[in-house]
Amino acid sequence: MTVEQLINALDGMIPKTLSEPWDNDGIDVLPQKDMEVARVLCALDCTSVAIDIAKKNGCNVIVTHHPLVFKPMGEVSYTDSVGKRVIECIKSGIAVVSFHTRLDIIEGGVNDFLASVVLGLKNVESFIPYGRIGDVDKQSFSEFAEKVAKLLKLDINSMPMVKASDTVSRVAVVSGSGKDEIGEALKAGADTFVTGEVMHNHMIDCKELGLNLICGTHYATERIIVPALAETVSKFVPCDIYQFTREEEYGI
């Protein structure tokens, strides 16, 4: 299978039509569309470390959640964080393709996986295209927070939280950054909101509005999808597929 054929196959399963208008997922780097897929690396981000691992393992395709090229580039230079990675991929003959908001939105994608598989919410449904809401057995906020920390493999003391009420039973979930979805979570009947990150003023809003908040970091709430992404890729290519979820090197 060629790289172009793999990209087209993945587009068929995770359609671009689901992507938010502001997003730039899809092909990030394509040195040669008709080269045969050798090996594939799946990761949350196409970092320099991910590129090095791809090179060492003979991978000529990197499939990520976050786009490498998100904003228009005025120049492609080694002095730029994105530019140096684009150049390195082109030099190394590595194609990079990303599935961002469409993977957040699609059934069985990031937010479904976070809500149902990781957090174990019941009766899960959408409250916005990429947000999910569901039920948990009634429990204390501290008990639920400890479970979230354990499931996301985080130190509970490092998780920003807002305790607005003593109990948790209805939980809204938005992976990554959920700062703009606080109002929608409340409208949907959530007493608790689990997301990756928000700003300081949004934490104040949650307290004032009576919404419990747990921030499980942008990375931890989304790295969970890498194994599922690798499984999807494996449906189309019989080659080795590597998974990279060790961004601790970046302190993320």
- Domains, in order of start, for the chain: 3-100 (3.40.1390.30), 107-222 (3.40.1390.30)
The predicted pLDDT at position 75 comes to 92
3-state SS of 177-201 is ECCCCHHHHHHCCCCEEEEEECCHH
CA atoms within 13 A on the CB side of 65: 28
pLDDT value of position 252: 47
Query: With b meaning 16 or more CB within 10 Å and e meaning fewer, what string describes 24-47?
Result: bbbbbbbeeeeeebbebbbbbbbb
Average pLDDT for runs of 10 along the chain of length 252: 97 97 97 96 95 96 97 92 98 98 96 96 97 98 97 93 97 97 98 98 98 96 95 95 76 49
Residue 1 near residue 237 (C-beta atoms within 8 A): yes
pLDDT (0 to 100) of residue 245 = 84
